[in-house]
Chain A
Amino acid sequence: MTPSTPFGNSLTRRELLKAGAGGLAGAAVLPYLGSGAAEAQTPKRGGVLRLTFLGDPLHFDPHQTLSFVTMVPLSFVYSRLLKVKAGPSVKPMTYPLEPDLAESWTQPNDTTYIFKLKKGVRWHPKPPVNGRELTADDVKYTYERFLTITGNPNKPVLEYVDKIDAVDKYTVKFTLKEPNAWFLDLLASTSTWIVAKECVEKFGDLKRVESVVGSGPWMLERWEPNVKLVYVRNPDYFVPGLPYADGVDVLIDKDPSSRLATWLGGKTDFGPEYQHAVRWLDAPVAKQRKPGLQTAEYTWFTSGATGFKLANPPFNDVRVRRALSRASNLAELYESLAFSQGHWTPNPAVPAAFADWSIPIDQLGPEGRKLYEFNTAEAKRLLAEAGLPNGFKTTVEAPATVYGPDFADFIQITLKNWKAAGIDAELRLKEYGAFISSTIFGKFDQMFLGLRGAWADPEAYFYRWYMPGQPLNVWGVNDPKLIDMIKLQRRTFDVAKRKQIVFDIQRYLAEQALFGVDGSIRILSAWDAHIKNYMPNNGFDYGGRLMAAWIDK
């Protein structure tokens, strides 16, 4: 992937702000009609997009969960101020921003952002909002609820916001407590949907399906739990002409075999796994059964995660931490998994799926680079150097369910390779619910193995994991040098300079071996030949990426 700025392949942040001030609203439709075969064809209106999804929404309140099973269904219905651009012109693994409800914005100083909203945007014509105009008061209400509601796990996305003012009907001003160069990216997060006050007042919260009233491209017509979510086109959507499809049927199917069969049987239009991926193991049969199948190969956010406590010997010794990574055979691992079949990318601290922010492995320092070179003898040597010539025994906790068979293979292969180097880890399986409510918050004895990849902003992968006071800093890292770098990058608005700091952070984390090496699968997203003007990408915004897709049947 060609590196690009976070705001696109050519725009700097300053240019983006300038463009925002100049008004990007007029170009709202154009970005979707990008390059590729679709460009030559005239989009067709109508039809229903059919896809499978892995689970039912936990509920429908975006301020009460960060789970993808809620956020993905909401992406068809809601809008936010900014969004990640979508369409065939956007390379997967890049996340350029574009206006959604915002018409333009300015930044008078480091802690103030003023957004002008598009005029005439209407809520869905459903009670209790009944199609009234969306205004600055709605934005203010949404983010005040976001920041004050009990139990919002997405709070870190905006917790540095001091206040939000509705300056007039179409103007919103954000004042931050401190500069945060990621603010615009975070505003485009799929947790920041603008919600209607009337719905909260009528239903008490937004958990009920009846409370799903947005301003996005489709309206949620009904939810049949364990069966499907049915969406119909929003006739008053604020982007003229969009969406092209009259509806979307999201079939809920928790069984991977059934999802694959449903797709191969022609009952859906997109690959069966998360982000429309098809497992590499199933790709040949899919290509054979679906002539003209369109695919995109890219690295996804999800990857393995190895945790340990720095305060506990032997993990307080950097040589032991390095030995752990040197004993991990990532190539063998990703060759073996049905999902990857050898298609993978090594991850530094920021996952490789952030093409613009993840440091290439060959740009790490010498010690950091070595972590990715599997070498059992070297791992043994490092352990011996650390005073552990016979290796050591430890315990490792991992979830027993939910992550699927590939994760079980991941654990077994990892433990086998560690053992060959003398690291004898006793596996302690935990029920998934127990794992995510205790282990990942630091309630484990020695080590854990899990997954990471829920966050769509690169900063989260070091800020939330390594800043003192953050609940997910399970390692107990409190390193002044690291803290300074993390704080500095937040204050650095120049993208190129910030990128260098973020690279330095990753170099430092690798040098100190403050994580166990891991990789991410290069997934193969697939969609049928009759689906046009579509390109997949990472993140929960299915609706945003599908609104300009059309059906050529």
Chain B
Amino acid sequence: MRAYVLRRLLVALPSLLIASLIVFTLPRLIPGDVVQLMLEEKAYGKDLDDLRAKLGLNRPIHVQYVDWLGSVVRGNLGESLWTRQPVLTELERRLPVTGTLGVMALVVAVLLGIPVGVLAAVRQDGVLDFFVRSAAILGLSIPAFVTAILTILLPAMWWGWAPARFVEFSKDPAGYVLQFILPAVILGIASAAGIMRLTRGMLLEVLRQDYVRTAWAKGLRERVVVLKHSLKNAVIPVVTVLGLQVVSIVGGAVIIEWIFGLPGMGQFLVDAIVQRDYPVIQGINLLIVLIIVLTNLSVDLLYAALDPRIRYQ
């Protein structure tokens, strides 16, 4: 297993290298240059060149890339072109916010999606199944930002209630966790809907298999047949989807953080793209790539825990 993990990590290195090249190059291909943005509506020709030189952006792009990659290997992601704050320091501050939101959203998705999916499968074509499937379609079809805006706006207009503003963990640990509940539920609902539908479908398939029929024939109770014998096999594809949900939750976090005023990586990334803050864009994207690589690895490792027939070689 250790050898497998090491091999996967080694295989991930070229992926990371290619990703680094992409995250370095793509922001520079967007029309509009950070120097012109900095000078905004008064771009003196000479000043543009001076500023470009001052920021080190006048060097050939491959030289800039090698320079940046060298810094990354040494654990330095550079500093923001605008605020001159080290990118790593900013990420250290923001990653926990996005991480908390993402993990809580994932928890909501799992706690809601799997049990409801199981219930729907067990009560196939019943009222509950019909209701749950309709709710799932609704959850999938209403964008998270619409739910978020309505959740924020309507209580404020009707009762003068608004969600709390962001507080740091060190100042109010309970308040810190509580402030994520609403955004995490909204972010988790769309994922929960997908997980629910998949769990239902997979469980229905498993429930029709011979070994399950045997379990029923042995007179086992429904709870044992479903939860012990069937669910474990049904959730393997769900775990795969969970890995993919991490990606969609990271993407969804961008807009949810924006609406709820959470200072996570999503807001940071949007600001950086608008401002063409190359080191920040590169740093965040590299981190996201790393998270996705590690998530995929974790999902692969989880297969073995769920299905003993799977061996890592």
Tell me, yes or no, whether A224 is within 8 Å of chain B by CB: yes
Stretch at the interface among A104-112, A360-368, A428-436: A428-436
Q: State whether A151 touches B51 (Cβ < 8 A).
A: yes
What residues on B are CB-neighbors of A262 within 8 Å? 156, 162, 165
Q: State whether B261 touches A438 (Cβ < 8 A).
A: no
Q: State whether A433 touches B274 (Cβ < 8 A).
A: yes
Q: State whether A66 touches B42 (Cβ < 8 A).
A: yes
Tell me, yes or no, whether B37 is within 8 Å of chain A by CB: yes
Chain A at the B interface: SS class: loop
Tell me, yes or no, whether B210 is within 8 Å of chain A by CB: no
Q: State whether A207 touches B156 (Cβ < 8 A).
A: no
Partner of A267, one of B153, B165, B257: B165
Tell me, yes or no, whether A335 is within 8 Å of chain B by CB: no
Query: Would you give the 0/1 interface string for A468-500, flagging 1 where the beta carbon is closer than 8 Å to chain B?
Result: 000110000000000000000000000000000
Shortest distance from the beta carbon of A220 to any chain B beta carbon, whole Å: 14
Q: State whether A226 touches B32 (Cβ < 8 A).
A: no
Most chain A Cβ neighbours within 10 Å, of B149, B165, B276 = B165
What residues on A are CB-neighbors of B32 within 8 Å? 431-438
Most chain B Cβ neighbours within 10 Å, of A224, A227, A401 = A227
Bound together, the chains give a CA A151 to CA B44 distance in angstroms of: 7
Partner of A433, one of B30, B85, B157: B30
Shortest distance from the beta carbon of A75 to any chain B beta carbon, whole Å: 18
Bound together, the chains give a CA A112 to CA B59 distance in angstroms of: 44
What residues on B are CB-neighbors of A252 within 8 Å? 261
Stretch at the interface among B10-18, B110-118, B188-196, B263-271: B263-271
Q: State whether A225 touches B90 (Cβ < 8 A).
A: yes
Bound together, the chains give a CA A58 to CA B259 distance in angstroms of: 20
Tell me, yes or no, whether A56 is within 8 Å of chain B by CB: yes
Count class of interface residues, chain A: 35 or more
Partner of B152, one of A258, A289, A401, A435: A258
What residues on A are CB-neighbors of B31 within 8 Å? 430-431, 433-434, 438
- Which chain B residue lies CB-closest to A203? B84
Query: Would you give the 0/1 interface string for A63-100, flagging 1 where the beta carbon is closer than 8 Å to chain B?
Result: 01111000000000000000000000000000000000
Stretch at the interface among A153-161, A168-176, A382-390, A533-541: A153-161
- Which chain B residue lies CB-closest to A253? B261
Query: How many residues of chain B have a CB within 8 Å of chain A?
Result: 51
Q: State whether B30 touches A434 (Cβ < 8 A).
A: yes
Bound together, the chains give a CA A151 to CA B47 distance in angstroms of: 5
Q: State whether A227 touches B261 (Cβ < 8 A).
A: yes
Given contacts A258-B152, A265-B161, contact A436 B40 (CB under 8 A): yes
Tell me, yes or no, whether A266 is within 8 Å of chain B by CB: yes
Bound together, the chains give a CA A138 to CA B38 distance in angstroms of: 25
Shortest distance from the beta carbon of A403 to any chain B beta carbon, whole Å: 12
What residues on A are CB-neighbors of B157 within 8 Å? 261, 264, 285, 289
Q: State whether B259 touches A258 (Cβ < 8 A).
A: yes
Q: State whether A226 touches B267 (Cβ < 8 A).
A: yes
Query: Would you give the 0/1 interface string for B12-38, flagging 1 where the beta carbon is closer than 8 Å to chain A?
Result: 000000000000000000111101111
Given contacts A207-B84, A252-B261, contact A260 B275 (CB under 8 A): no
Q: State whether B47 touches A150 (Cβ < 8 A).
A: yes
- Which chain B residue lies CB-closest to A454? B41
A65-B38, A153-B43, A441-B43 given; name 5 further pairs at CB < 8 Å. A150-B51, A151-B35, A207-B83, A228-B165, A258-B152
9 cross-chain pairs, A with B, having the tightest CB-CB distances, nearest first: A265-B162, A433-B32, A437-B36, A226-B263, A261-B156, A434-B31, A434-B32, A153-B42, A264-B156
Seen from chain A, the residues whose Cβ lies within 8 Å of a Cβ on chain B are 55-56, 58-59, 64-67, 150-156, 205, 207-209, 224-228, 251-255, 257-258, 260-262, 264-267, 285, 289, 401-402, 430-438, 440-441, 454, 471-472
